[in-house]
Amino acid sequence: MEERTLGATGLRVSALGLGTLTWARDTDEHTAAELLRDFVEAGGTLLDTAASYADGAAEELLGSLVGTVVARDEVVLCTKGGVRRTRSGPVVDASRGALVDSLDASLARLGTDHVDVFLVQAPDPRTPLAETAAALVHVLDTGRARYVGLSNHPGWQTARLAGLLGGHTLAAVEVEYSLLQRGVEREVVPAAAELGAGLLAWSPLGRGVLTGKYRRTVPADSRAASAHLAGFVEPYLGRVSGPVVEALATAADGLERTPLEVALAWVLGRGGVASAILGARTAGQLRPALELDLVLPEQIVAALDEVSAPALGYPERR
């Protein structure tokens, strides 16, 4: 598998990352071990998790496998903090105390003394960006994390926080990015490029919709049929995504490839993308992606760009 540099840093990550959103919930220990083994054997290194995934159980499961199924020095661990569980549900909290405490708990669950990349999972309107930045500087200075970044933040916050890191680098920006979600191209992608931050694209398959499996119906074993993930997939079903999915299927037929391969190749061909993070629930879902060797012809890219172009308004388009 190809390795890419994470932005302007010296950290190298695999072009495909393995996401763990479903681990310890829809993906059990045996399947997770199989996923991890297949991923690393194919040359994959980037493992993406978060303290909030399955209330920490995803990190615990990953920690139990790193050091047994694969060696710690074979992988790049990326975790996220800033979303904590309360009695009334999850709450975004990017304060210094919450972020440091979250990372310490993550390190314990992962069974390591540091993570390679630590991200703030979501914007916190109640905490000043200067305080969030100070927390990131602290985890870098104390060796808890080697690199830091943001996840799901708008462009202006990304640029502002990068300027508050006191000589440290904003290494990564993790955002949803696919043929069905190109809103980040308006401001986040240009900001990341100017700052030298590498893009980590989550859900590059449009929450599974770009595989084509929802073209006719909702499979009984799919996320869209799951009680706790149906709401995650539903926004990308129906007439909004239809033209893009059909154009993708047409391109795939013409190239004698699958829609999955074409959708992934499109994301990996975007400027600044260091890794596309796959949330496969089973080894069968992951393996076709691990064999990807496709570079899209310019004409195909242009056609897909046109049909999936995000709406622009003031001030991006004047």
Q: Which tops the pLDDT comparison, 231 or 137?
A: 137
| pLDDT bracket for residue 317 (50, 70, 90) | confident
For the entire predicted model, the pTM comes to 0.94
Judge whether 53 counts as a catalytic residue: yes
How high does pLDDT run on average in the chain?
93
Identify the H or E element spanning 81: strand 76-81
As a whole number of angstroms, the distance between CA 260 and CA 154 comes to 28
Return the pLDDT at 312: 85
pLDDT tens digits, 247-273: 999 999 999 999 999 999 999 999 999
- Is the preceding peptide bond at 315 cis, omega within 30 degrees of 0? yes
- Burial string for 207-230 (b: 16+ CB within 10 Å, else e) reads bbbbbbbbeeeeeeebbbebeebe
Q: Looking at residues 147-168, what average pLDDT do you find? A: 97
Return the pLDDT at 233: 67
Write down the architecture of domain 3-206+267-295 according to CATH.
Alpha-Beta Barrel (3.20)
Show the tokens assigned to 164. 């508050």
pLDDT tens digits, 34-78: 999 999 999 999 999 999 999 999 999 999 999 999 999 999 999
The one catalytic residue among 53, 147, 177, 214: 53
pLDDT tens digits, 187-210: 999 999 999 999 999 999 999 899
Return the pLDDT at 225: 42
Give the rounded distance of the alpha carbon of 317 from its chain centre: 28
Return the pLDDT at 47: 98
Decide: 12 and 5 in contact? Cβ < 8 Å: yes
